[in-house]
Amino acid sequence: MLRTRDLEAVIHRLRLVSRLLLTLSAFLACGVLCAQQSSKESSVPPHAPNTKSPSLKICLRLLDDSAFSGLVNLRVASAQGSDVAGKATDSEGETIFSDLAPGSYSVEANAPGFVSVKQLLEIKPGHGLETMFLVMRPDSSADAPSAPPFAPANENAAFPVPPGVDEVIPAVSPGVSCDLPVVLHGVGERMAQLISNLEKFSATEHVTHFSVDKAGVLRARETRSFEYIVLVSQDAFRGFQLDEYRNGNTNPAQFPAGIATTGLPIMASIFHPLMVSDFKYSCEGLGQWNGHPSWQVRFEQRPDRPNRIRAYNIAGNYYPVALKGRAWIDAGTYQVLRLETDLVQPVKEMELTHERLSIEYGEVQFHSHDLQLWLPKSAELYWERHNHRYYRRHDFSDFKIFAVDTDQKYQRPKESYSFTNTSDRDIRGVLIVNPISSSKLSPVSITFIVPAGGSVFKTIGTGKDVSIPGELVGSAKYVYKGNADSVKVDAYLATESTLEVVPDPSP
């Protein structure tokens, strides 16, 4: 995915999913809006609008002029009271009503959590396509109280343990029904778009960390600031992968208490089509977050599915963690505004008795790429393990998205192998690394994808991709599905070793 050597240091693969990536439509409006129309819509002819007859295009917008793509009942009726069938276009929030007879019409849009909009319109003979913009305004009178945030981080201040997600359930607006399949489809579309668009970005990350003593008081404040770089890639075999680098490396020792917090940018991927089958969902109703009408959705890890979203890596031991939680999903855009997680149950194997995570999301505008993405703006984490308690806060700012050719340079990972795909398609391969003959270590085999035109690094060392100390590496072999010279491979080792590259051009 990367196209320049200047970003060599920012690729470290973290496997997240293993199922086939589904290609989803980037347009949500049709599926939502069409479902809300009268049953008469089934009679809409499949042909294109008659440009000689008057037509009406209705564009639903939010206060910031972005498209409204939420659940809506859009009704156009003639002066005689007859409903007119409409058809959603390929643009979000737009519906077209074709072949209208001249006369007066009423236009009405009703959406949960928003003020109803009603306009009168006169269609005159000879007019072609007329466009009407309707602004959907949040209904402040229907606001439900927001969930309580974590306590402010002040050293030597009392810190109340955050309640579990099932201990305090925020109120929702009475009498508002929630169509869970439609909500999950909408937010799933947003997650698919995010993974598709979010190739690589950087941000400034500020971490504030405290120990929490037995009396529940914050102690021993520590702060860290990182140049935070994230790369998200996708392939046809494992869905998507996340790479995170802080100040050019992945060493957890740079975090306070030596405990790294990773994976925050895609925690909301629990709603991604690849992940959604791992959880049970229920819609609690229409709540609100920061003035946004929001669908309040509870989720919980299914016991018959693998725990793929969160895990602890302690001294080389891997502990998957089952999560439950709640999300606030914008009723007008299906963007995730807030996400809270809690443990389904304590993890006895690692003495993890409590973990509470809260992530606030906000819109990030990348002006250089005319791109808007919803990313974490802050995250708060409280956990108890082995009779130790910690509170940590992450704040993200100064987001930048990388161009294909960037002038920023980063040092490549030390002790690593690099793989650069010179072809126009993704290439799958396996790297087999053998230790020296005098070592008692076992060979390491890694299967991965090198994206078209991109590069991948596999780091070497204890606890890294190739968990063999660099000085004990004896030889390596890389076999890939592709023509000769499709992948350029280099090794950056402190000691001598051999590297064999074997292309396999067979289909």
pLDDT tens digit string along 363-415? 887 755 556 788 999 999 999 998 899 999 999 998 887 643 333 333 445 67
Structure tokens at 103: 């006369």
pLDDT tens digit string along 273-316? 988 999 999 999 999 888 899 999 999 999 998 888 888 888 77
d(CA 271, CA 381): 21
pLDDT tens digit string along 315-335? 778 888 999 999 999 999 999
pLDDT tens digit string along 205-235? 999 999 999 888 999 999 999 999 887 776 5
Angle (CA) 198-202-203 rounded to 5° is 120
pLDDT > 90? residue 430: yes
Quote the pLDDT of residue 18.
32
pLDDT > 70? residue 346: yes
d(CA 2, CA 420): 9
Quote the pLDDT of residue 144.
55
Quote the pLDDT of residue 270.
92
Q: How confident is the model at residue 496 (pLDDT cuts 50, 70, 90)?
A: low
Q: What is the 3-state secondary structure (H, E, C) of 11-61?
A: CCCEECCCCCCCCCCCCCHHHHHHHHCCHHHHHCCCCCCCCCCCEEEEEEE
Q: How confident is the model at residue 10 (pLDDT cuts 50, 70, 90)?
A: very low
| CB-based contact 493:456 (threshold 8 Å) | no
* Least confident piece of the model among 210-214, 492-496, 502-506: 492-496
Quote the pLDDT of residue 271.
95
Q: How confident is the model at residue 15 (pLDDT cuts 50, 70, 90)?
A: very low
pLDDT > 90: percent of the chain: 39
Eight-class DSSP state of 264: G
Quote the pLDDT of residue 48.
44
Give the fold, CATH level 3, of 37-137: Immunoglobulin-like (2.60.40)
Domains of the chain, residue spans:
5-26+142-148+158-401, 37-137, 416-504
Highest mean pLDDT among 1-10, 347-356, 454-463: 347-356
d(CA 287, CA 329): 9
Cα-Cα-Cα-Cα dihedral of 445, 450, 456, 462, to 10°? -10
| CB-based contact 287:171 (threshold 8 Å) | yes
Beta 279-289 vs 292-301: how paired, if at all?
antiparallel
Phi, psi for 10 (deg, rounded to 5): -110, 30
Quote the pLDDT of residue 368.
55
d(CA 255, CA 324): 26
Position with higher pLDDT, 115 vs 413: 115
Structure tokens at 381: 């984490």
Residues forming a β-bridge with 416? 459, 492
Residue 340 neighbours by CB under 8 Å, 6+ apart: 147, 165, 325, 326, 327, 356, 357, 358, 359
Q: How confident is the model at residue 485 (pLDDT cuts 50, 70, 90)?
A: confident
d(CA 9, CA 27): 35
Quote the pLDDT of residue 168.
87
| Cβ atoms within 10 Å, residue 11 | 27
Residues 463-468 have a mean pLDDT of 84
pLDDT tens digit string along 26-71? 222 223 323 333 333 333 343 444 445 788 999 999 988 888 999 9
Q: Which CATH class is domain 5-26+142-148+158-401?
A: mainly beta
d(CA 94, CA 117): 15
Residues 73-77 have a mean pLDDT of 94
Mean pLDDT for all residues in the chain: 81
Q: In what order do the strands lie in the sheet with 498-504?
A: 444-450, 427-435, 473-481, 498-504
pTM of the model: 0.68
Quote the pLDDT of residue 206.
95
* Least confident piece of the model among 145-154, 373-382, 384-393, 430-439: 145-154
